Structures are given as structure tokens and as C-alpha cells.
Amino acid sequence: WTAPRMVSRSDEANRADQGNTIKASEYMDEPEVLEAKVDAIVEMLKKAKCCTAYTGAGLSRASGIGDYASKKNSINSKIPKLRSPYEAKPTYAHRVLVALERAGYLHHYVQQNHDGLPQKGGFPQEKINEIHGAWYDPSNPVVQFSGNLRTDLFEWMIEMEKRTDLCLCLGTSLSGMNADRVAETPAKRSLKSRSRALGTVIINLQQTRLDEVSAIRVWATLDDTFKMIAEKLQLDMTPVNIDPPRACKDQFVIPYNKEGKYDPNSRMVWDLRDHQKIRIQNPEASNFNQTGEIFRKDEQGHYVVHVGRHQYRFGKWWVQCALEGKWPFLLPFVNADPVFKKVEDDDVLMEDSKSEIPDTIHIVQTHKPVGDTHEWSLSVNPVEAVAQVTWELHPTFHPPAVTCTEAPFSVTRTGWGVFTVNFKIQLTNGKALTGKHKLSFSTDICTTTC
């Protein structure tokens, strides 16, 4: 591949605050080179057994959140600044990372940033390690450069470092932080033997210390690169719904015990209403055992939490993670005096919410011939109590699973044969319905009742 061209010159070090002497000049690949590199990345994604994203501040730069490495003459310097970083929305690259996870190409995520943008885009909380702290987790305050990392998160990072055979290293200057090992280890393993690892792909406008050991080095913006990846893999870019079930009215019955540990036999009421008292329960947290309260919700529906003398946000996406019992560690907090329900009780807390759920929900299929093939559409009815629907299609379709977050939660595909579609309907009360629908060549409307 031909060398990239310089698009922004700087004599400043990109991270002088961390002792990094690499200049902050920026480079970009020519279009034909970028496309060839993206083709190679796509093939690596298809081969990877455990792909981990390792991201730095450069990933969020397009959202309006500033970074340390970009200087005054950076190509990013004209991006409008936000009044508050909490207003930031996921970039296109964030959304593609979410789609990669949903399609089975991306298995884990180590985030140096604190901004919660991956989760705002729909990335599962249980697959993301916010090793340097998080704005949307009161038990994980931001770690300063000289601070100590949380032991449980560090051990989780080491475990995934060993398993990772492909690392997507995105928007980080790789200035020698402890977490850089997530990118460095698979890169060096790959140099010893491609059978041990596929290596590390670095996508950054600036040079890094690991450029020479990377499997592929891309000089381009992350949004441009990931748009090409999404197109070549034909990823489903449907937005993911991260809102908690409305019918629960901020009281959620979750399978965790009073310590905040997952327990399938426990039914704890997680009360996130205003002014409810809470306690940080994780001994690994720097604010362990501190108490506080739920203060209010912000404009985006995230919870504003006071703990000690500090104010935090608590991401609303945590609710779904807890409802499904997927968080592998202790919950960020529990209520100071938690209430429990009996296991045999219905998981819906509010009696008035039961009436909002219909007795039956129908899977509705329509079909029509299209040339030598057939076109099917599947939807649900009624839709009022439905939060989202996941359709599991035949593995020859890509992606094989499609999640719909807006009514009528429909999916349309064209093919030659009939097959069985598995579905999962997530209701607004936190419950889920699963079942199967057998496709038919009938031109009449067909239904499956659940």
C-alpha cells in the first residue's frame, strides 16, 4: 500500500502530558488504498473467534466531545462543541460497532472513554469494560491518569486480552496506558504466528507507537471507515431501543440479591424513583459503602444520582441489563432497604400495568411472489405493549438476526424457500415472549398466536 498523505501538520506531541513524543500531525489514505484495507478488515472480521474493540477519545470526537491529542489545526477542529458532554450522541462509528456486535462479529469492548456513547447506541453493557471509569455508572468514578484501576474490571480486561485474536484499535494514541495491552498483546501474538492471532487493526489519523506491529494500519476518519465496513458486511443499522419498560414506572423486579449479585432465585425490586435511598455495594468501587439517593431524571431519561458529595448519571440502559440478569459483577448500587418479591410472584410490580398487556399477541405474515422468488413480511399485532422484537432468520440471511424497535416491528426479506423464524418479543413490562413462526407460500395473511 502507498503511504498516506499528510492533511494536518503539527510540531506538538500528541500526548505530551503522558510523555509521548509522537507528533500530532494527521494523515489520510488515498480512497483506493482505504477501500483495499477495509476489504482486508472485513475478511478478518469474518475469521475472528474473539474480536475486541479498544477505543480512545478519537472515537467520540465527531460527537462534539473534545480529546487531548487533536491540536488547533486538526481536521476535527471545526466540529461544533457541546454545551455539555452529557448531550453527546453516538457517532456513526459507534452505531456500526453496535451493529457488528448484533451480527456476531464483535464480541467485547474495552473503552478508555467515559462518555457512555456505545451504550447510548445500543451496545450491551455486559460486554463493555469501562476500565478508566464511567459517567453513567456511579460505582465506577473516572480514574485519573495516576489513579488505580478497579480490580474486578482489570481482571476482566486481562481475561479478554488472552482470548482476543483480533483487536480493533480505534481513536487512541496508545500512549502507554495499562489498558493498551488489549491492543498490544494480539498484535505481538500475530507477529509470532497468524495461527495464534489475526492481530490488531489500528484506525487513527495520527501515528502511534504500535503502527509497526499492527496487522493493518488505516489512516482515515472512523466514521468514513466504518460506513464502508457496514456497507460491505450489509449490517443491519436499525436503531436499538435502550429505554426501560414504561409500565414498570421506575420499579423493576430483577434477579439479584441484596448484595447486588446475580441470583436466579431472587426477585429484588430495584426502585429508581425520585428520592429513593441507595448504597454503593461493590467493594472494588472507590466509593464503596457510600450512600445517596436517586435525585431525578435528565432530559434523555438517564437517572441523576447523588452519592456522598458527588453527582453522577446512571444510564437508563442498565435497567434492561439487570432485568435479564446479564451484568456479571455486582450492580452499581442497590436500594438502602431493598424489597423482595416471592419467586412465584408475577414479575410485574405494578398491578395497573397488567391491564396494559393483552392476552395474546399475533405474529402476522404477508407474502407475495417477486419474479422467481418470494417476499415475506412479518410484524406483530397489537403493538401497544411491545418494546422491541428480535427475528431470528435463516443463517443464509445476513445478518441472521434483526431487532426492530419501532411499531409495527416488521421485517421483510426475499428468498426461494420456506423456513422457521424464531422470535423474541420484549414487552414494555420487562417480560419477554419467545416462539416460532413457520413461513408459508400462502398469499393470505397468516398468523401465529403467542
**Domain boundaries 5-233, CATH class:** alpha beta
Q: How far apart, in whole angstroms, are the C-alpha atoms of residue 45 and residue 167?
A: 10
Q: How far apart, in whole angstroms, are the C-alpha atoms of residue 403 and residue 400?
A: 10
Q: Which mean pLDDT values do the consecutive 10-residue runs of the chain (450 residues) have? A: 91 68 90 98 98 95 74 70 88 97 97 95 97 96 80 96 98 90 97 90 96 97 97 93 87 96 95 97 95 96 95 97 95 96 58 56 84 84 86 83 85 83 85 86 62
Helices and strands (DSSP H and E) totals, the chain: 8, 24
pLDDT of residue 207: 94
pLDDT of residue 367: 81
Residue 95, amino acid: R
**How many CB atoms are located within 10 Å of the residue 328 CB?**
11
Q: How far apart, in whole angstroms, are the C-alpha atoms of residue 68 and residue 55?
A: 14
Q: Record the cell numbers describing residue 94, joined without a space.
A: 459507534
> Residue 403: beta bridge partners?
390
Q: Record the cell numbers describing residue 199, joined without a space.
A: 492481530
How long is the chain?
Answer: 450
Which run of H or of E encompasses 365?
strand 362-370
Q: How far apart, in whole angstroms, are the C-alpha atoms of residue 353 and residue 249?
A: 9
Q: How far apart, in whole angstroms, are the C-alpha atoms of residue 408 and residue 295?
A: 35
Residue 211, amino acid: D
Are 259 and 281 in contact, with CB atoms under 8 Å apart? yes
Superfamily of chain region 356-449? YEATS domain (2.60.40.1970)
Q: Record the cell numbers describing residue 377, joined without a space.
A: 413480511
pLDDT of residue 354: 44
Going from N- to C-terminal start, the domains of the chain cover 5-233, 246-352, 356-449
pLDDT of residue 326: 96
Give me the DSSP letters along 310-328: EEEEE-TTHHHHHHTT---
| 321 half-sphere exposure, CB direction, 13 A CA radius | 21
Q: Record the cell numbers describing residue 90, joined without a space.
A: 453516538
| 116 half-sphere exposure, CB direction, 13 A CA radius | 23
